[in-house]
A and B are shown apart, each in its own frame.
Chain A
Amino acid sequence: MKTFLTVALLAAAFAIPGALIAAETQRFAPIDPKAYSPAQQEFAKLMTAGQRAGTVTNAPFKVYFASPEFGLEAIKMSNYLRWGTGLDARLSELAIIIAARHWTSDYIWHAHYPLAVKGGLDPAVGADIAAGKRPTKMKDDEAIIYDLLTEMYRDHDISDATYAKARAKYGEKGITDIQALASYYGVTAMALITAREKTAPGDEPKLQRLAQVFPK
Chain B
Amino acid sequence: MKKIIAIALLAAFAAPGLLSAADNTRFPPIPVDKQTAKQKEFIKALTDSPRSANGGGGNITNPPFKVYLRSPEFGAYAIKMSDYLRFDTGLENRLTELAILIAARNWDNDYIWTAHFGPAVKGGLDSSVAADMAAGKRPAKMKEDEAIVYDLLTEIYRDRKVSDATFAKATGKFGEKGVMDIIGLASYYGNTAMALIVSNGTRPAGNEPKLQKLTQNFPK
Taking a contact as CB atoms under 8 Å apart, the answer to whether A176 and B187 are in contact is: no
Q: A66-B180, A193-B156 are in contact. Are A77 and B88 (CB under 8 A)?
A: no
Q: Which residues of A contact B26 (CB under 8 A)?
A: 163
B96 contacts partner chain A, Cβ-Cβ < 8 Å: no
Taking a contact as CB atoms under 8 Å apart, the answer to whether B109 and A172 are in contact is: no
Main secondary structure of the interface of B (DSSP, over half): helix
Taking a contact as CB atoms under 8 Å apart, the answer to whether A66 and B191 are in contact is: no
Task: Convert B188-200 into 0s and 1s, putting 1 for each residue whose CB lies closer than 8 angstroms to a CB of A.
Answer: 1011011101101
Task: Convert A92-113 into 0s and 1s, putting 1 for each residue whose CB lies closer than 8 angstroms to a CB of B.
Answer: 0000000000011100000000
Give the contact stretch, choosing among A46-54, A127-135, A153-161.
A153-161
Q: A158-B197, A176-B68, A183-B194 are in contact. Are A73 and B80 (CB under 8 A)?
A: yes
A123 contacts partner chain B, Cβ-Cβ < 8 Å: no
- For B, the interface residue count at a CB cutoff of 8 angstroms equals 49
B181 — nearest CB in chain A belongs to which residue? Answer: A67
Q: A74-B184, A77-B78 are in contact. Are A69 and B84 (CB under 8 A)?
A: yes
On A, residues with C-beta under 8 Å from B are 21, 25, 27-28, 63-64, 66-67, 69-71, 73-74, 76-77, 80-81, 84-85, 103-105, 148, 152, 156-158, 160, 163, 171-173, 175-177, 179-180, 182-184, 186-187, 190-191, 193-194, 196
Task: Convert B40-70 into 0s and 1s, putting 1 for each residue whose CB lies closer than 8 angstroms to a CB of A.
Answer: 0000000000000000000000000001101
Q: Which residues of A contact B191 (CB under 8 A)?
A: 179-180, 183-184, 186
Q: How far is it, in angstroms, between the C-alpha of A140 and the C-alpha of B71 when the chains are bound?
A: 23
Give the contact stretch, choosing among B3-11, B137-145, B160-168.
B160-168
Q: How far is it, in angstroms, between the C-alpha of A73 and the C-alpha of B181 when the chains are bound?
A: 12
Q: How far is it, in angstroms, between the C-alpha of A170 and the C-alpha of B44 when the chains are bound?
A: 26
CB-contact partner of A196 in B74, B80, B162, under 8 A: B162
CB-contact partner of A152 in B81, B183, B198, under 8 A: B198
Further contacts, 6 of them, CB under 8 A, given A156-B108, A176-B70, A190-B187? A77-B78, A80-B73, A80-B77, A152-B197, A157-B197, A193-B161
A70 — nearest CB in chain B belongs to which residue? Answer: B184
Taking a contact as CB atoms under 8 Å apart, the answer to whether B160 and A194 are in contact is: no
Top 8 A-B residue pairs of the complex, sorted by shortest distance between their CB atoms: A66-B176, A187-B187, A77-B77, A67-B180, A183-B191, A172-B70, A73-B81, A176-B71
Q: How far is it, in angstroms, between the C-alpha of A177 and the C-alpha of B72 when the chains are bound?
A: 10
B179 — nearest CB in chain A belongs to which residue? Answer: A194
Q: A67-B181, A156-B108, A160-B16 are in contact. Are A84 and B81 (CB under 8 A)?
A: no
On B, residues with C-beta under 8 Å from A are 16-17, 20, 26-27, 67-68, 70-71, 73-75, 77-78, 80-81, 84-85, 88-89, 107-109, 152, 156, 160-162, 164, 167, 175-177, 179-181, 183-184, 186-188, 190-191, 193-195, 197-198, 200
Taking a contact as CB atoms under 8 Å apart, the answer to whether A190 and B156 are in contact is: yes
23 of the cross-chain contacts (CB-CB < 8 Å) are A21-B164, A25-B164, A28-B176, A63-B176, A66-B179, A67-B180, A70-B89, A80-B74, A80-B77, A152-B194, A158-B197, A171-B70, A172-B67, A173-B70, A175-B70, A176-B67, A176-B198, A179-B194, A179-B195, A182-B194, A186-B191, A193-B162, A194-B179
Which of A177, A180, A194 is most buried by chain B, counting CB atoms within 10 A of its CB?
A: A194
Which of B74, B78, B156 is most buried by chain A, counting CB atoms within 10 A of its CB?
A: B74
A78 — nearest CB in chain B belongs to which residue? Answer: B77
Taking a contact as CB atoms under 8 Å apart, the answer to whether B162 and A156 are in contact is: no
Taking a contact as CB atoms under 8 Å apart, the answer to whether B74 and A187 are in contact is: no
Q: How far is it, in angstroms, between the C-alpha of A183 and the C-alpha of B184 when the chains are bound?
A: 11
Q: A25-B164, A156-B197 are in contact. Are A76 and B181 (CB under 8 A)?
A: no
Taking a contact as CB atoms under 8 Å apart, the answer to whether B81 and A77 are in contact is: yes
Q: A69-B88, A70-B84, A193-B160 are in contact. Are A187 and B70 (CB under 8 A)?
A: no
